[in-house]
A = this chain, B = another copy of it.
Amino acid sequence: MKRYTLQLSYNGKHYFGWQRQPREISVQEIIETALTKLNHTHPVGVVGCGRTDTGVHAADYILHFDFTEIDNLEQFVQRLNRMLPRDIVIFETKEVAADFHARFDAKSRTYRYFIQTTKDCFNYEQRHYVHVPLDVAKMNEGAKLFIGKQDFTSFSKLHTDVKTNMCDVTSAKWVQTSEHELYFEITADRFLRNMVRAIVGTLLEVGIGKIQVADIATILEQKDRGKASSSAPGHALFLWEVKY
């Protein structure tokens, strides 16, 4: 057996997130089913770089799996792409060290959240439409308050079974790409469940003037689940990059 990585992207629209679940369809299950077929039906399990929630997309996702030696990596990718549905695309497979771990070895993860401020009939499935004016300068002021190693309990989901809620956010900013389009980009060593969507939801409330920039510091200090604003919807969120 050798260890391999897959680099892929997926459209989360039709999936209940990355992670395999007993009663719902997941990206992980679809990929494991395809790899198992390529392995003459001997079950193949994969370990992903992280979980994504229902409906969330991944522009750049890394997973690892163990497999008998693959002779032709390029052909393997082609066969896999033909077996996988249109909404999961494999870019590359590589042999890695036997102890490589897609989740534990990831140094940072970057997410992007896309907003439109005008009605658009062609991109609405992957954009969040905000129909009130946004103060992007204020939203960027607020974004800065998330940078640093902090306790993100206020921006995590209830019933999260992690030991610590400390995350080291190294970058957080809004980028205006055109008159009616902008995205939020955030990089950290790790993210808690629902964290990006809770941060975006809060910054949008700053943008429309419902809360003040200074309120963000207060919410962070409170370390109280559910203190943040309501989460922005998942369909506009993309896992954008994973670094090792």
Asked if residues B10 and A121 are in contact (CB atoms below 8 Å), the reply is yes
The reply on A88 being an interface residue by CB < 8 A is yes
Chain B hits for A11, CB < 8 A: 121-122
A59 to B57, CA, bound (A): 26
* Complex: A88 Cα to B87 Cα, angstroms: 25
Give this chain's copy count: 2
Q: Which of A9-57 contact B (CB under 8 A)?
A: 9-11, 57
Which residues of A87-120 have CB atoms within 8 Å of chain B's CB atoms?
A: 87-89, 119-120
Q: Does A126 contact B (CB under 8 A)?
A: yes
Q: How far is the CB of A115 from chain B (nearest CB, A)?
A: 15
Cβ of A124 under 8 Å from chain B: yes
A86 within 8 Å of B (CB atoms): yes
Q: How far is the CB of A66 from chain B (nearest CB, A)?
A: 25
Does residue A81 face the partner (Cβ distance < 8 Å to B)?
A: yes
A79 CB to nearest B CB, Å: 13
Q: How far is the CA of A11 from the CA of B88 in the complex (A)?
A: 23
User: Which size class do A's interface residues fall under?
Assistant: 10 to 19
What is the 8 Å Cβ interface bit string for chain A, positions 120-153, against chain B (1 contact, 0 not)? 1110111001000000000000000000000000
Rounded to whole angstroms, the CA-CA distance of A129 and B89 in the bound complex is: 13
Complex Cα distance, B122 from A125, in Å, reads 10
Question: CA separation between A11 and B10, bound complex, in Å?
Answer: 22
A154-195 residues at the B interface, CB under 8 angstroms: none
CA distance A9 to B123 in the complex (A): 12
Of A81, A87, A89, A119, most B-chain CB atoms within 10 Å: A119
**Complex contact A124–B86 (CB within 8 A):** yes
Residue of B nearest to A90 (CB): B119
Which of B89, B120, B121 is close to A119, meaning CB atoms less than 8 Å apart?
A: B89
Extra contacts, 18 of them, besides A57-B122, A125-B125 (Cβ < 8 A), are A9-B121, A9-B122, A10-B121, A11-B121, A11-B122, A59-B122, A81-B119, A86-B119, A86-B121, A86-B124, A86-B129, A87-B121, A87-B124, A88-B121, A89-B119, A89-B120, A89-B121, A122-B126
Q: Sort A-B residue pairs by CB-CB distance and give the 5 closest, nearest first.
A: A11-B121, A87-B121, A89-B119, A89-B121, A86-B124
Cβ contacts A to B, 7 pairs, < 8 Å? A10-B121, A57-B122, A81-B119, A86-B119, A86-B121, A86-B129, A89-B120
